[in-house]
A and B are shown apart, each in its own frame.
Chain A
Amino acid sequence: MTDAALTPAAPARGAIALPRGLIFVAPAVLLMLAIYILPIVVLTGFSITDYRLGALRWEFVGLQNFRAAFQDPVFVRALANTALYAVLVIPTGVFLALGIALLVQGRRHSRALWETAYFLPVTATLVAMATVWQFLLHPTLGPVNAAITWAGFDPVSFLGNPALLIPTLALIGIWQVLGFNMVLFLAGLTAIPNDLLDAARMDGARSPIDRFLTVTWPMLGPTTMFVIVTTSISAFKVFETVAVLTKGRSGSETLLYALYLEGFEYSNTGYAAALTLIFLAIVLVLSIGQTLRMDRRVHY
């Protein structure tokens, strides 16, 4: 076909392409709207009212709910608890998983066994598993305390001592994310070309630490970034273990649990909506921050 033959046809094709294109993107756009955008708009609407679930009238209160949140001792405590939880879970959950992945990768015959063992918690229902942990950590019946007393120490009341509540929940949180993170790291490790490790050995990287620092760690950059972001998000979303094990007693509320209480136990829908927005903002800022900061360093 010549150019002359093409030219008159071009606008017609463009005119057809637009509606056709819209039809193609419609399912995704509609789903996005229905599942993400509309709920956030509705949520934002609720957050500036004093609406209570089931109430017939409500009033516009402006930013009152947000001001109240930061003066609410429960919410501030929940914020602090979640921060502590995240500080415990994120580094441990990421670097322990990396360590385990490195060890598991070195296994030839038992690799599948270890992978399964560490991955099992990911497949288990956390609510059910929380009950198991409750038994394990029980001051008198639990095997953990049996071991502690056998070793000659006083039994520890993991779920009774208020100071230990968040660290105990963090421990369970780490156990929960470890397997998934390990699998991600294993995938990242498999993708590292053997030639690079060989080249490092030829270049004089004699110890495994040298090879790790020269090749493995830099090459795992993209994986590490992904693992840190997903672990952070799941750390900020901690809920099941709190709901089953502590129910927020002794000041052990976390962000999600606090807003669950406000929204569904106390029916303060407007206030809960404001808390949800704050939670969303925190997670969003953290994820964007991490991604922007690390993205520049890990992609070559």
Chain B
Amino acid sequence: MSQQSIDLRGVSKSFGATRVLEDIDLSVKEGEFLSLVGMSGCGKSTLLRIIAGLEAPDRGSVFIGAADVTARDPSDRNLAMVFQSYALYPHMSVRQNIATPLRMRILTLPARLPLLGRLLAPTAVLAQIDTDVSKAAETLQITHLLDRKPGQLSGGQRQRVALARALVRQPAAFLMDEPLSNLDAKLRAHMRDELAALHRRLGATFIYVTHDQTEAMTMSDRIALMIDGRIEQLGTPDDLYQRPATLAVARFIGSPTINLLPAEADGEGRVTIAGQSTSILARPGPLTVGIRPEDLETGDEGLAAEVLRVETHGPDRFLTCALPTDRSTVTLRQGASARPARGDMLKLRIPPERAHLFGSDGQRVPARITGRVAA
């Protein structure tokens, strides 16, 4: 059964003087697709390796289902892992690669030896292994590659072999460490679909490490965004995009990146953004306002901005505009029908209900819009 929950309780890890993970609590539900996202060095891979058992936490525990597996060897955790390098055994054929997890678990050491093994291994067991390998190969459509060596395969094919090797023995959960980052852009998009489809079909628990927010946003049920060894926000892709809990999350998620403008709430809580008064109310003090490029509106009044650059992306145009007030720039996302040109002067309006407010500590600040409650 490929459906087990995974719980991390108070996991910390340091390498020498460097703290890599700080007191991580995380519950992955049965059958969930959870992504660990963050910049390189944020500790996401280390966290995955701790779940796998390849790395031991300094403090805290790892649970698979109800069992505390913190002290268990990786081979006893019944997890499968797909590596960024695929880590296929180069001296084995694809068939042998996929069979390895089964042979390791089912056959004794003498029965796995090259010549002696053929005499010792029960025929029925070998036949079962063969059947399972064929089934896994069929699932990933690599039956025609079974007798090749990994060296003769393309990147995408190796990726499939690595997946087949992971799913051949129905593990408690699948751990994936940047499995798509060695593929070219087109193949990556294709494999994204396939991975998501595979997840739906198997109904298995997936923990997926990536630095690519698109991968995380498109495939995950939930995303844990990690920054400096902590989970900055845990939620659905929509949560992270629509309601970033901190400034750091807002900055990380979204492409092009969110626009950030200095703001201030006066004694009565009325918020002024870049000198323009708004209908937003928040607790008094300095603020940073985040506004997604697609949420900025143009109109007859608002922030004056000059178009510096127009990037055409087929369906969209991204406009980079300079704000004369403080010489910062904002990005604006418009449909292809808009025909702005470099040097045009625009008036930008920030829809109050689409503005994200953050305090000087980087935490999200609750806001109200005069007359009604906003995000």
Q: How far is the CA of A222 from the CA of B151 in the complex (A)?
A: 16
Closest 9 CB pairs of A and B: A204-B104, A199-B87, A195-B87, A218-B91, A206-B75, A203-B101, A300-B90, A201-B74, A204-B75
Q: A199-B87, A206-B73, A219-B91 are in contact. Are A300 and B149 (CB under 8 A)?
A: yes
Q: A202-B52, A202-B79, A202-B80 are in contact. Are A210 and B87 (CB under 8 A)?
A: no
Q: How far is the CA of A213 from the CA of B90 in the complex (A)?
A: 14
* Cβ-defined contact, B75 with A199, below 8 A: no
Q: Which residues of A contact B149 (CB under 8 A)?
A: 300
Q: Does B318 contact A (CB under 8 A)?
A: no
Q: Does B241 contact A (CB under 8 A)?
A: no
Nearest Cβ on chain A to B171's Cβ, whole angstroms: 9
Q: How far is the CA of A126 from the CA of B77 in the complex (A)?
A: 53
Q: Which of A204, A205, A206 gathers the greatest number of chain B CB atoms within 10 Å? A: A204
Q: Which residues of A contact B79 (CB under 8 A)?
A: 202
Q: Which of B104, B150, B165 contacts A205 (CB 8 A)?
A: B104
Q: Which residues of A contact B101 (CB under 8 A)?
A: 202-204
Q: Which residues of A contact B54 (CB under 8 A)?
A: 198, 201-202
Q: How far is the CA of A210 from the CA of B105 in the complex (A)?
A: 11
* Cβ-defined contact, B81 with A206, below 8 A: no
Q: Does B89 contact A (CB under 8 A)?
A: yes
* Cβ-defined contact, A198 with B81, below 8 A: yes
Q: Which of B74, B75, B83, B109 contacts A209 (CB 8 A)?
A: B109
Q: Does B316 contact A (CB under 8 A)?
A: no
Q: How far is the CA of A199 from the CA of B52 in the complex (A)?
A: 10
Q: Which residues of A contact B112 (CB under 8 A)?
A: 213
Name 10 extra pairs, CB < 8 A, besides A210-B109, A219-B90.
Answer: A193-B85, A198-B83, A201-B53, A201-B73, A202-B74, A202-B75, A202-B81, A203-B100, A219-B91, A221-B91
Q: How far is the CA of A295 from the CA of B162 in the complex (A)?
A: 27
Q: Which of B73, B74, B81, B84 gathers the greatest number of chain A CB atoms within 10 Å? A: B74
Q: How far is the CA of A219 from the CA of B89 in the complex (A)?
A: 9
Nearest Cβ on chain B to A296's Cβ, whole angstroms: 12
* Cβ-defined contact, A198 with B73, below 8 A: no
Q: Does B138 contact A (CB under 8 A)?
A: no
Q: Which residues of A contact B76 (CB under 8 A)?
A: 206
Contact digits for B135-169, partner A, Cβ 8 Å, 1 yes 0 no? 00000000000000111000000000000010000
List A residues 170-219 near B (Cβ within 8 Å): 193, 195-196, 198-207, 209-210, 213-215, 218-219
Q: Which residues of A contact B53 (CB under 8 A)?
A: 201
In the complex, residue of chain A having the shortest beta-carbon distance to the beta carbon of B54 = A198
Say what secondary structure dominates the interface of chain A.
helix
Q: Which of A206, A209, A215 contacts B89 (CB 8 A)?
A: A215
Nearest Cβ on chain B to A190's Cβ, whole angstroms: 16
In the complex, residue of chain A having the shortest beta-carbon distance to the beta carbon of B114 = A213
* Cβ-defined contact, A198 with B87, below 8 A: yes
Q: How far is the CA of A180 from the CA of B109 in the complex (A)?
A: 32
Nearest Cβ on chain B to A245's Cβ, whole angstroms: 42
Q: How far is the CA of A118 from the CA of B150 in the complex (A)?
A: 37
Q: Which residues of A contact B74 (CB under 8 A)?
A: 198, 201-202
Q: A218-B91, A219-B90, A221-B91 are in contact. Are A204 and B105 (CB under 8 A)?
A: yes
Contact digits for B271-291, partner A, Cβ 8 Å, 1 yes 0 no? 000000000000000000000
Nearest Cβ on chain A to B75's Cβ, whole angstroms: 4
In the complex, residue of chain A having the shortest beta-carbon distance to the beta carbon of B76 = A206
Q: A199-B83, A203-B104, A214-B100 are in contact. Are A300 and B91 (CB under 8 A)?
A: yes
Q: Which of A201, A203, A207, A213 contacts B165 (CB 8 A)?
A: A203
Instruction: Pick 26 A–B contacts, CB within 8 A, sort by A.
Output: A195-B83, A198-B52, A198-B87, A199-B81, A199-B88, A200-B89, A201-B53, A201-B54, A202-B52, A202-B80, A202-B81, A203-B75, A203-B104, A204-B75, A204-B105, A205-B104, A209-B109, A210-B109, A213-B112, A215-B89, A218-B92, A219-B91, A221-B91, A300-B90, A300-B150, A300-B151
Q: A202-B52, A204-B104, A204-B105 are in contact. Are A196 and B89 (CB under 8 A)?
A: yes
* Cβ-defined contact, A210 with B104, below 8 A: yes
Q: How far is the CA of A221 from the CA of B90 in the complex (A)?
A: 11
Nearest Cβ on chain B to A108's Cβ, whole angstroms: 12
Q: Which residues of A contact B90 (CB under 8 A)?
A: 219, 300
Nearest Cβ on chain A to B173's Cβ, whole angstroms: 12
Q: How far is the CA of A39 from the CA of B149 in the complex (A)?
A: 45
In the complex, residue of chain B having the shortest beta-carbon distance to the beta carbon of A201 = B74
Q: Which residues of B contact A202 (CB under 8 A)?
A: 52, 54, 74-75, 79-81, 101
Q: A300-B149, A300-B151 are in contact. Are A201 and B83 (CB under 8 A)?
A: no
* Cβ-defined contact, A218 with B89, below 8 A: yes
Contact digits for A209-240, partner B, Cβ 8 Å, 1 yes 0 no? 11001110011010000000000000000000
Nearest Cβ on chain A to B190's Cβ, whole angstroms: 24
